[in-house]
Chain A
């Protein structure tokens, strides 16, 4: 269970979150929606440690975590970035291996076996030696998902997962996320694409607007 308790966040004079609370239960898929500039991505960046929290607590299974300052807590929430941010100079397999081999110091042979299984599960087995530029947008996104899952995160977060895809691909992503939900994966989807959310039908909270500061989910 991931919890945000009494979170405050401001950029200069602009208050983005004030005493904000959020709970994501284990195995739950949560959609965070709202207009552009509402602070959805800021929320995701705070949870994943890419943005500092001004005050408040981030708890994972009741234990406080601080992925912004503490590297041991990084990776507990995996991220699939809006523009994927794959490493262009590394093959698909090497992209997936970076976390386990270098950060978790997993034995390379064991990590390769796990990464290959992950790529196979995501339909990318034939692309393990390809480079990101050789893949379609949808395939690149699945590599980004595999790379995030390789660290076995407690929560998998997606930042605007449909923004870099053509409309035909969004149904595939929705199916993938629904499949993960069925397997009991805890997921967080930040998006402003309501038709996409309607395909997945997760619990949804809205951020932004004048009552953003008091939002409690």
Chain B
């Protein structure tokens, strides 16, 4: 093992990891609240809103994220809509992941018995109090495993930004591998992804344990 070589490519890989984490965290922070909002909208009695949101979820889940990235960054300029690279990445990732989270949260909301809403109503809670105090905490517990799967997918999907020429972890490794004709950078990239997913898995299990205080 050539430690000197590893030391020489490490700064580029760490810089790529930073970009990967920015995309990951930014997408997570924006797409989960948007997913919750869409899931609530999907249960609306206002049918045109439901149709619109159903169409959005269908479109986002029915086409590849890679296509969405290419469409937004390379396709939209054809009709004079321009995004810089990172804006295009966030737009595609947030819209795509919010659709998946919306479906997960919709399932979580459906699992809450009507009786819980009835009990909240006779206790004079407002719809917002009912959602915040009674429904959401139970939904969160219900959806942690499914959300966890998406979170793990997201860290890996972030490598798709390579197609837009963004210097994420995979791109940093690939450039070093092609330049130096060695597999070492790609192995290191794999190790970084494995470490990140292992940390996330541990975090998600801790969260599940935290919510195991009731049944």
Chain A contact residues, CB within 8 Å of chain B: 48-50, 67, 71, 74-75, 77-79, 81, 83, 85-89, 98-99, 102-104, 131-133, 147-148, 151
Query: Can you add 18 more A-B contacts, CB < 8 Å, to A81-B118, A132-B214?
Result: A50-B121, A71-B126, A75-B123, A77-B122, A79-B119, A81-B115, A85-B119, A98-B123, A98-B134, A99-B125, A102-B125, A103-B123, A103-B129, A131-B213, A131-B214, A133-B215, A148-B122, A151-B123
Smallest Cβ-Cβ distance to A102: which chain B residue: B129
CB atoms of A89 and B123 under 8 A apart: no
Residues of B within 8 A of A83 (CB): 115
Question: Nearest Cβ in chain B — how far from A50, in angstroms?
Answer: 5
With the chains together, A49 CA to B116 CA distance in Å? 15
Q: Would you call B209 an interface residue if the criterion is a C-beta within 8 Å of the partner chain's C-beta atoms? A: no
Smallest Cβ-Cβ distance to A88: which chain B residue: B214
Question: Nearest Cβ in chain B — how far from A107, in angstroms?
Answer: 17
Q: List 28 A-B contacts (CB under 8 A).
A: A49-B122, A50-B121, A71-B124, A71-B126, A74-B121, A75-B122, A79-B118, A79-B119, A83-B115, A85-B116, A85-B118, A87-B116, A87-B134, A88-B214, A88-B215, A98-B123, A98-B125, A102-B123, A102-B125, A102-B133, A103-B124, A104-B124, A131-B213, A131-B214, A132-B214, A133-B214, A133-B215, A151-B123
Smallest Cβ-Cβ distance to A148: which chain B residue: B122
Q: Would you call B85 an interface residue if the criterion is a C-beta within 8 Å of the partner chain's C-beta atoms? A: no
Chain B contact residues, CB within 8 Å of chain A: 113, 115-116, 118-126, 129, 133-134, 137-138, 141, 213-215
Residues of B within 8 A of A78 (CB): 122
Residues of B within 8 A of A48 (CB): 122
With the chains together, A83 CA to B115 CA distance in Å? 9
